[in-house]
Amino acid sequence: MRISRRSLLAAAAAVACASSLQLALAAGYPSQPVRLIVPYSPGGLPDTVARIVGQRLTESLGQSFVVENKPGAGGAVAANTLAQAPADGYTFIVTDGPMLAIPPFVTTKPPFNAQKDFVPVSLIGTAPLYLAVNANVKANNLDELIALAKSKPGALNYGSSGLGSIHHLTAEAMKAGLGINITHVPFKGSGQSVPAMMGGQVDMLFASPPTLMGFVKNGQAKLIAINTAKRAPLTPDVPALSEKIPGFDFAFTVVVLAKPGTPQDAINKINASIASVVKTPAVIEQLQKAGVDPVGASVEQTSAALNAEMQRITAAAKHAGMKPE
């Protein structure tokens, strides 16, 4: 096989460019502001986490970490923003695992391929959801709720943030694990579903701690369970669903992702920096108030967590009978 001189020069230039980039990274990365793309509107959980962590990274690394909200099309707008950016370690996505896992179950043409279009950088933390019931539901704990649901198949209902949302799939996984029949009532986000439960339109739902705790304190709702593998330190009296359903864990991940081809030195630097900042007392407090349990996992652990989450969501989507449209 004959290789042209032009091809050899191009290959040499590419190697030199890559080597120069690695040297630059080693010398003082980051040397310019870093973009944190969030596929949701301001105020949502990934946005809140990105701003908390971004501020601390700015302080620790000496460069601005700028949050850019790119909502729309199930994450496609944010994914396209990342795809169009250079793979140089100065653009990342901060999102939740469900954004990656759910699209294949709701559309025949997913806007991205989670396995090919992103590489893991960091697992910032996991976000639990609590199962709460309206104060008028005749159940004060998980055992009583299970007994009530089994005594009246299909009579109880639950709200969710929409078809295919993590709230919906968590409830479907719970139904399968407990062998109960409760009816799904989808809404457009927690901003609708939580008030609907408080108003008695639905009996129960899964929601994040910040959206529920005020109502619980006021006696308008009762916490019945948490969707994590073990009880939460902040609510030790609330049982984990895993106590009834072995292996149950639907707390969703909040992760940082990069574009394929991003220098490994940059990924490692960001990973180590996040792992450091999320273990500081001030950030732990901030994240927990936002409803996130800090983790700061390695790149390998982040990849494993995303794969496990994909498997859980796939099983729940199949149980729910979801078919792409």
Domain boundaries, the chain: 29-128+252-319, 130-243
pLDDT at 26 over 80: no
CATH architecture of 130-243: 3-Layer(aba) Sandwich (3.40)
- Give 277's pLDDT tier (boundaries 50, 70, 90): very high
Q: Does this chain's domain 29-128+252-319 share its CATH topology with 130-243? A: yes
The one-letter amino acid code at 1 reads: M
pLDDT on residue 11: 47
Residue with tokens 């893991």: 120
Q: Over range 108-136, report the average pLDDT.
A: 94
DSSP state of 251: P
Range name among 19-23, 60-64, 202-206 with the lowest pLDDT average: 19-23
Range name among 68-72, 146-150, 248-252, 316-320 with the lowest pLDDT average: 316-320
pLDDT tens digit sequence for 28-48? 899 999 999 999 888 889 999
For CA atoms 308, 316, 168, 179, give the dihedral sign.
Answer: negative
Calculate the average pLDDT of the chain: 90
- Give 136's pLDDT tier (boundaries 50, 70, 90): very high
pLDDT on residue 27: 58
Q: How far is CA 9 from CA 3, 5, 22, 157, in A?
A: 10, 6, 20, 66
pLDDT tens digit sequence for 200-252? 999 999 999 989 999 999 999 999 999 999 999 889 999 999 999 999 999 99
pLDDT tens digit sequence for 185-197? 999 888 899 999 9
pLDDT at 257 over 80: yes
pLDDT on residue 62: 96
245 against 11, higher pLDDT: 245
What kind and span of H or E run contains 24?
helix 5-28
Q: Is 115 exposed, middle or buried (0-12, 13-18, 19+ CB in 10 A)?
A: exposed
Strand pairing category for 293-294 and 183-186: unpaired
Q: Which two structure tokens, joined as six digits, stand for 131?
A: 């199962």
pLDDT on residue 15: 46
Strand pairing category for 221-226 and 130-134: antiparallel
pLDDT at 13 over 90: no
pLDDT at 24 over 70: no
CATH superfamily of 29-128+252-319: Bordetella uptake gene, domain 1 (3.40.190.150)
